[in-house]
Amino acid sequence: MKPKGQRHLYALDLIAALALTAVYVGFARMTSDDGQPAYTGPPWLGCLIAAAVGLPIAVRRRWPLPVLVAVLTTLATASLLDIPREPYAAAGLAAYLVGLAEPARRSVPALAVSLPVACGAVYLGEAVVTPAEDWQGAVGVAGLVLLVIGGSWGAGFTVRGRRAEGAREQRRRAERALDEERLRIARELHDIVSHNLSLIAVKAGVAGHVAEADPQEARAALKVIEETSRSALAEMRRTLGVLRTESAPLGPVPDLDRIGSLAAEAHRAGVDVDLTVHATEGLAEGTQLTIYRIVQESLTNVVRHAAPTRCQVIVEADAREVRIDVADEGPPSIPGRTVRELPGGHGLLGMRERAMMYGGSFEAGPRPEGGFAVSVRLPVEGNQTT
């Protein structure tokens, strides 16, 4: 069953095969009135040779190398019988497909054999068997045949190389797209897991510390752990469901309206958040998700490394850029406690990657007066909805 996209190519090959056969039947019936040697054998043999020259071209796409061998053998025989009056067009068509479809380990030897066979047959037919040219004229005709076969093979070989390079480039693009998608998924899973587990870890520590002295506070901490766990499981199910099937229901994409819930969750974990969101209306959905995830990861780091503490979160936008600043006062001063270093892991890297994806800037580090600060700038141009 031929692919639909190639049926017209097979039809064109069939037309070319029939045309070449008809042309060679005409050559076999020509006389020497024009001064050129003519075929003098039986008509049936001339028709058989014509069919053997032309008809194999109809299947050159299926069997390129056998077709070249068959056509070239027949043309060489025809040259010795003074039939051809054209420079081996059928061999050129066959050689093109050999260069295009066959690997170099087969097509190069095939060309190396075809050229001397064709040129030798033409020279013998023109200058030895039935001399119609002097040796220089015979060499010229042989050179034309060489040009037709070699040029056709070279054209096919070049197209094959370009197609192979195009396929390699397509694979590279697909691999890059896959890597980017894996990175996006890794960021989303990290943000979901890291944020919620940090809250759970903090509240679990609180519950364990006050379990005997203040059972009511311990129960409140356990309630927060329960709610946070359920929320994390729901987000994980939605994310994994999207990975399993395109028809999985999608939950709402986190946007700036939900930043307040991040501040509330951080507050339950011991971080007093001063939140300011200003002039962010009209931002594109992707930009809002990026802002949400950056604020989420920043508060997660504050909870993990500094709670209990105070933290200021400012998200504001103008016509040029979106500014995200998260700064905390650091952990309580406790004798013997070491000053917090720059957080490691994937959190800061994920925030940096999100900022770079939008052509923005990212800075993070300890503050001179104590605590830690994250500063992100995202360009607004091309991100706002109309």
Q: Which domains does the chain have, with CATH numbers?
A: 4-172 (no CATH), 255-386 (3.30.565.10)
pLDDT for res 14? 93
Q: Residue range 251-260: average pLDDT?
A: 74
Of 32, 86, 77, nearest in space to 52 by CA:
77
Q: Residue range 97-120: average pLDDT?
A: 92
C-alpha 189/C-alpha 195 separation (Å) is 10
pLDDT for res 249? 46
DSSP code of residue 251: P
* More confident position, 286 or 187: 286
83 confidence band (pLDDT: 50, 70, 90): confident
**Across 150-164, 289-303, 313-327, least confident range:** 289-303
Residues in contact with 256: Cβ distance below 8 Å, sequence separation at least 6, in sequence order: 277, 280, 283, 288, 291, 292, 315
Of 159, 165, 157, 152, nearest in space to 105 by CA:
157
Q: What tens digit of pLDDT does each residue of 275-307 get?
A: 999 888 888 877 888 898 889 889 888 888 888
Interior/surface letters 269-305, b for 16+ CB within 10 angstroms, e for the rest: bbbebebebeebeebeeebbbbbbbbbbbbbbbbbbb
Q: Residue range 8-28: average pLDDT?
A: 91
pLDDT for res 244? 55
pLDDT of residue 74 exceeding 90, the answer is: yes
Mean pLDDT in the chain?
82
Output the pTM of the full model: 0.54
Q: Are 353 and 293 in contact (CB under 8 A)?
A: no
pLDDT for res 115? 93
345 confidence band (pLDDT: 50, 70, 90): low
pLDDT for res 266? 86
Q: What tens digit of pLDDT does each residue of 50-71 get?
A: 999 999 999 999 999 999 999 9
DSSP bridge partners of 375 = 325, 363
385 confidence band (pLDDT: 50, 70, 90): very low
DSSP code of residue 328: E
pLDDT for res 69? 94
Q: Are 232 and 193 in contact (CB under 8 A)?
A: yes
pLDDT for res 5? 58
> Tokens 């766990």 sit at which residue?
229
Q: Are 375 and 363 in contact (CB under 8 A)?
A: yes
Interior/surface letters 206-229, b for 16+ CB within 10 angstroms, e for the rest: bbeebeeeeeeebebbeebbeebe
Q: What tens digit of pLDDT does each residue of 22-31 get?
A: 999 998 888 8
235 confidence band (pLDDT: 50, 70, 90): low
C-alpha 340/C-alpha 329 separation (Å) is 11
